[in-house]
Amino acid sequence: MKHHKVECNFNVFESIEDLPKQIQKLMKFAQEARLKAYAPYSNFLVGAALELENGEFISGNNQENAAYPSGLCAERTAIFYAKSKWPNQAILRMAITAGSKLKTTNTPVPPCGSCRQVLVEYELQQELPIELYFMGSDGTIVHSNSVENILPWVFDKNML
């Protein structure tokens, strides 16, 4: 038997003010989107904003449904819109903010597994890492240099 280890590296920023100016702008865009989320069932509001290489900022939020599985996460709402409108523009980075409508969420909220899988598809396709910045509704912000960093041992097209 041989033991293997996979590492995950990330940076933590204490507050939005500590982020580089351009990232602050992106996170504020995600915060605006979060407040427009349609989440009457979970009361958990999520906003995502991404920056494309042509300088466009795209945002999205979670859209829930009475038939629960028919809803969609904020990250995928934003990314599918961006890639349907600008299929050839690489995604440089994504900012995510999430938390309950009923209380302050200070814990950074990472994208769910399905959203990581969708993000990594485009990261591999564009051969350029997508930076991630994610936070709760308040508090610290986690920065990952790529999606693969938080989705090690990825399932990709080479396995088909």
Residues engaged in binding ligand THU (CB under 6 A): 39, 42, 44, 46, 62, 64, 71, 73-75, 111-112, 115
Enter the tokens of residue 138: 């308040």
Q: Are 94 and 116 in contact (CB under 8 A)?
A: no
Which CB, 43 or 54, lies closer to ligand THU? 43
Nearer to ligand THU, 42 or 149 (CB): 42
Tell me the closest approach of the beta carbon of residue 39 to ligand THU, in angstroms: 5
Residue found by looking up tokens 């909220």 in the block: 109
Closer of 75 and 148 to ligand THU (Cβ): 75
CA distance 76 to 61: 9
Active site residues: 75
Give least dist CB 99 to ligand THU, A.
10
Least separation in angstroms between CB 115 and ligand THU = 5
User: Using an 8 Å Cβ cutoff, are 148 and 132 in contact?
Assistant: no
Shortest Cβ 43–ligand THU spacing (Å) = 9
Report how far residue 88's alpha carbon sits from residue 99's, in angstroms, rounded to the nearest whole number.
32
- For the four alpha carbons of 29, 83, 110 and 56, in that order, the dihedral sign comes to negative
In terms of CB distance, is 74 or 92 closer to ligand THU? 74
d(CA 62, CA 59): 11
The backbone torsions φ and ψ at residue 110, rounded to the nearest 5 degrees and listed phi first, read -75, 160
Asked if 148 contacts 123 with a C-beta cutoff of 8 angstroms, the reply is: yes
